[in-house]
Structure 1
Amino acid sequence: MEKSTVLGLCLGLIAVIVGMFLKGASPIALLNSAALMIIFVGTAASLFIGFSMEEMKLFPKLMKIVFTEQKMIPKMELINMFTEWVSITRREGLLAMESKVEEISDPFLRNGMRMIIDGNDQDFVHDVLMEDIHAMQERHRSGAQIFTQAGTYAPTLGVLGAVIGLIAALSNLNNVEELGHLISAAFVATLLGIFCGYVLWHPIANKLKQKSKKEVEIRLMMVEGLLSIQSGISSTAVQQKLMVFIPTSQRDKTDAKAGKADE
């Protein structure tokens, strides 16, 4: 479970509900069926018009990704793994890695290792792996775009809901007692639209982009590591090459630990 997503949603709901209570407005007003219909069904309609059915079928999967903790090989673990593999291949040759291929859990890394064991040209391996990364980025971009567009539509639909509510209120000017209630109900759609757009859909799109960025970084590390194995450079050189992907603060800690270990 992605704790930050759940925490963010809870804080967002608390902010609105408690804020309404402090302002003297009843949070029960949010349970406006007409406003909910206009915002959620209207947003869904806009997305179906703007995206293909194939893309919209990914919506449940994308929502699951947002609420699921991203599981990837830690960067330092990846560096240690490649350092070990380079030592093995320099000592025993690339074919020595055949027994370890099936133990690799990551499909991208496993496929890359198979390609270099099969003796493919280094440029070919690089091109295939980079194309795979680019294709993944495009899939992720399309997924995030769905939520970005939803965040754009929802606030505008909130204005539409307010206009519909005001039309209903103006048609009942004779009923003064109901007029205030109808006008306040008209703006519930605006509130829900803004909330969904800027507390729900846009942040979800951003989280998907961040998850994609992290996955791309890991895969680029894998490409560099695989090409390093193929080129036959030393394990120290591989480690130095891959440490570029580690933040400077973490690099300093790693160097400090290595220094203590040497002592």
Structure 2
Amino acid sequence: MDPATIIGIIIAFAAMFAMLMLEGASPFSILLPSPMIFVFGATIAVAVASGTMKDLGMCARGIPKALLGRKPSVASRIDALVELAGVARSEGFLALEPYAQEEEDRFFSAGLQSLADGVDGEALRQQLEDDIDTKAAEDKVPAKFYTTMGAYAPTIGVIGTVVALTQALENLSEPEQLGSMIAAAFVATLWGLVSSNLMWLPIGARLGRLSELEVQEMNVTMEGLLAIQEGSQPLLLEERLRSLVPSSELAPKRAERAPAEGEPA
């Protein structure tokens, strides 16, 4: 689990409420049900209207992924591929079948099974590239959905403010209530901006980033599997795969790691 999104959103809302209190206002002054219901409800509705009902199910699953999603470990995948390269060179491709059956990652498992089944290199590359393209296309749907919500929310907030101001101007005969009604009207604009910039856009960007990392891991996996099929040596394979990934996302090389307790230095 990578809690970056949860931490960021909580800090952003905390900063907003802290500003209110420092200005001498009550945080409850912006927690008005009517503008919040309109802004959140209408934003979700127009985002749904811009897609399909099937998209809605995919997007609903995007919230838990954005908040609790696991960041792929490319370093662990490279280690696994290097180990399997040694197995394939010493025992043959058929020895990879048990590893394919034990592997939880569907993409990695399917690739290993294809190696064990003797699929040729061109067919294997086509199979893996198709899986990667499909994954990237699927991930774009929820990311675009929340980005679209972020684009709609400020305008919907303005609409809510205009509607509320219209109601306020109809009550000019009651000047003692006019100030509070105008202040409440602008809460809709506030929540449009807040929900867009503190919620929907960060969630959309987070889903896009997780997709990038997952596709990166899949590309590294594909190159590793193809290299294993070509009979690449484990050490050469490790160097090649590490060159495909930013150094900040990699663990030290095996030769550079400190020996574990009980291992010879």
Taking the aligned partners of 2:97 and 2:84, their CA distance within structure 1 comes to 11
Deviation at 1:3, TM superposition (A): 2.1
Question: Which sits farther off after the overlay, 238-247 or 135-144?
Answer: 238-247
Partner in structure 1 of residue 18 of structure 2: 18
Taking the aligned partners of 1:262 and 1:79, their CA distance within structure 2 comes to 24
TM-score by length of 1: 0.92
Deviation at 1:13, TM superposition (A): 1.6
C-alpha spacing 1:5/1:185, structure 2 compared with 1 (3 Å): same
Contact 2:5 2:67 in 1 (8 A): yes
Partner in structure 2 of residue 237 of structure 1: 236
Is 2:33 the counterpart of 1:33? yes
Q: Deviations over 1:216-246 (max 9, x none)?
A: 1111111011001111121122111111134
Is 2:85 the counterpart of 1:100? no
Aligned amino acid, residue 17 of structure 1: F
TM-score by length of 2: 0.91
Q: Deviations over 1:28-86 (max 9, x none)?
A: 122212201220111122022111000012232111101213163x3232222222211
Taking the aligned partners of 1:188 and 1:250, their CA distance within structure 2 comes to 42
C-alpha spacing 1:180/1:109, structure 2 compared with 1 (3 Å): same
C-alpha spacing 1:153/1:250, structure 2 compared with 1 (3 Å): closer
SS at match of 2:243: helix
Partner in structure 1 of residue 146 of structure 2: 147
Deviation at 1:110, TM superposition (A): 0.6
Taking the aligned partners of 1:50 and 1:173, their CA distance within structure 2 comes to 39
Deviation at 1:21, TM superposition (A): 2.1
Between the aligned residues of both structures, percent identity stands at 30
Partner in structure 2 of residue 225 of structure 1: 224
Taking the aligned partners of 2:53 and 2:68, their CA distance within structure 1 comes to 24
SS at match of 1:187: helix
SS at match of 1:58: helix
Partner in structure 2 of residue 203 of structure 1: 202
Taking the aligned partners of 1:203 and 1:149, their CA distance within structure 2 comes to 12
Deviation at 1:247, TM superposition (A): 2.6
Tell me, which stretches of 5 or more residues in structure 2 are unaligned? none
Aligned amino acid, residue 96 of structure 1: A
Partner in structure 2 of residue 193 of structure 1: 192
C-alpha spacing 1:235/1:2, structure 2 compared with 1 (3 Å): closer
Partner in structure 2 of residue 67 of structure 1: 67
Taking the aligned partners of 2:235 and 2:28, their CA distance within structure 1 comes to 64
Question: Which sits farther off after the overlay, 33-42 or 137-146?
Answer: 33-42
- The runs of at least 4 consecutive aligned structure 1 residues that moved more than 4 Å come to 249-253, 258-263
Contact 1:158 1:193 in 2 (8 A): yes
Deviation at 1:26, TM superposition (A): 2.5
Deviation at 1:130, TM superposition (A): 0.8
Partner in structure 2 of residue 163 of structure 1: 162
Deviation at 1:7, TM superposition (A): 1.4
SS at match of 1:37: helix
More helix by share: 1
Aligned amino acid, residue 50 of structure 1: S
Number of paired residues? 262
CA root-mean-square deviation: 2.1
Taking the aligned partners of 1:9 and 1:126, their CA distance within structure 2 comes to 40
Contact 1:221 1:245 in 2 (8 A): yes
Q: Deviations over 1:125-184 (max 9, x none)?
A: 101111111111111111101000100111001101111111111111111100100110
Contact 1:2 1:66 in 2 (8 A): no
Deviation at 1:199, TM superposition (A): 0.7
Partner in structure 2 of residue 126 of structure 1: 125
Which residues of 2 match residues 242-261 of structure 1 at below 5 A?
242-248=241-247, 253-254=252-253, 257=256
Partner in structure 2 of residue 212 of structure 1: 211
Question: Which sits farther off after the overlay, 97-106 or 210-219?
Answer: 97-106
Aligned amino acid, residue 113 of structure 1: L
